[in-house]
């Protein structure tokens, strides 16, 4: 089974590349983030033509998530347990589904903006709700993983120059502590364990030639339980999909499993 995650940074703008990538990479399951469209506007017809079932959760604002599956799609859950809102809005940032006997969650963790911003406090509350959800979900006996854009670099090696981030989000101690607490529920950061080469970045800003310079971050993560992680046979970041005109600022992360 091939399971992937990709922040497409607008499914409408990225649709031609998304369809081409689905056809070439052939994931059985794809977790998608940052749809920037409503459920009604999601390109379901084009994607189902490729053999995928679709579950989306979007309102048209700067977020939205989805799960695409060729191996079945059941038990869809939209939103986290006790999910907090931001400015009295419950944002569509998490969706869970069971696909081919594997339980996956596609998540788009809030950015946080700045450590002293209200959005940062919201980010930490949101991560608490994610932990609560994971604990509840893991009570079931099935391979399980949370995939998506976490907007957190787990270690200093996961940013191109940690000295440039001393007063920035994505690397602060409270954010990384939240990731550690998520791991403490019994999850493993799959990529460093599976990759046969140094941990690559998954995100590069559009500005200042960040991609050609490889000034990136590893913030798109796959956190999995022992049943999922133990079945991983390969994993990679598809850097080629970050190249060229009309690319997202994130690259797909792909995990192959033998279940």
pLDDT attached to residue 197 = 62
DSSP 245: T
Q: Is 119 part of the annotated catalytic residue set?
A: no
> In 3D, which of 63, 52, 58 has the Cα closest to residue 4?
52
Coil, helix or strand for 164?
Answer: helix
pLDDT(196) > 70 = no
Q: Is 170 part of the annotated catalytic residue set?
A: no
The ranges assigned to domains in the chain are: 2-257
E strand segments, 72-189: 74-78, 94-99, 102-108, 144-149, 188-189
Q: Is 250 annotated as a binding residue?
A: yes
Indicate the pLDDT class of residue 155, thresholds 50, 70 and 90.
very high
Q: Which of 28, 39, 52, 149 is catalytic?
A: 149
CA distance 210 to 232: 31
Residues 223/188, Cβ–Cβ less than 8 Å? yes
Residues 105/55, Cβ–Cβ less than 8 Å? no
Indicate the pLDDT class of residue 62, thresholds 50, 70 and 90.
confident
Q: Is 149 annotated as a binding residue?
A: yes
Q: 1: which residues sit within 8 A by CB, 6+ positions away?
A: 28, 29, 71, 100, 102, 256, 257, 258, 259
Higher pLDDT, 140 or 188: 188
Q: Is 239 exposed, middle or buried (0-12, 13-18, 19+ CB in 10 A)?
A: middle
Q: Is 7 annotated as a binding residue?
A: yes
Q: How does pLDDT run across 108-118, given as a tens digit for each residue?
A: 999 999 999 99
Q: How does pLDDT run across 210-231, given as a tens digit for each residue?
A: 999 999 999 999 999 999 999 9
CA distance 119 to 79: 18
Geometric angle at alpha carbon 101, from 95 and 105, rounded to 5°: 20
Q: Which of 28, 52, 108, 120 is catalytic?
A: 108
Q: Is 223 part of the annotated catalytic residue set?
A: no
Q: Is 34 annotated as a binding residue?
A: yes
Element (H, E) at 258: none
Q: Is 241 annotated as a binding residue?
A: no
**Pairing label, strands 53-57, 65-69:** antiparallel
Q: Which CATH architecture has domain 2-257?
A: 4-Layer Sandwich (3.60)
Axis-axis angle for helices 173-183, 118-137 (nearest 10): 10
């Amino acid at each position: 089974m091939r399971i992937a995650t990709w922040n497409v940074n607008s499914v409408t703008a990225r649709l031609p590349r998304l369809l081409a990538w689905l056809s070439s990479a052939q994931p059985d399951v794809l977790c998608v983030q940052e749809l920037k469209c409503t459920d009604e506007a999601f390109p379901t017809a084009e994607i189902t033509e490729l053999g995928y079932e679709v579950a989306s959760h979007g309102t048209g604002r700067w977020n939205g998530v989805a799960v695409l599956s060729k191996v079945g799609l059941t038990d869809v859950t939209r939103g986290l347990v006790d999910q907090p809102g931001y400015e009295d809005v419950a944002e569509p940032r998490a969706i869970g589904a069971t696909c081919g006997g594997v339980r996956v969650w596609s998540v788009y963790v809030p950015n946080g903006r700045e450590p002293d911003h209200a959005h940062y406090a919201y980010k930490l509350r949101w991560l608490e709700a994610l932990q609560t959800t994971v604990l509840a979900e893991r009570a079931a006996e099935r391979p399980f993983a949370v995939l998506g854009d976490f907007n957190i670099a787990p270690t200093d090696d996961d940013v191109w120059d940690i000295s440039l981030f001393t007063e920035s989000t994505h690397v602060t101690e409270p954010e990384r502590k939240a990731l550690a607490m998520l791991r403490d529920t019994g999850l493993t950061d799959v990529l460093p364990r599976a990759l046969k080469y140094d941990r690559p970045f998954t995100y590069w800003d559009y500005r200042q030639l960040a991609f050609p310079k490889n000034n990136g971050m590893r913030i798109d993560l796959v956190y999995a339980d022992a049943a999922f992680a133990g079945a991983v046979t390969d994993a990679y970041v598809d850097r080629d999909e970050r190249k060229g005109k009309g690319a997202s600022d994130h690259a797909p992360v792909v995990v192959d499993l033998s279940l």
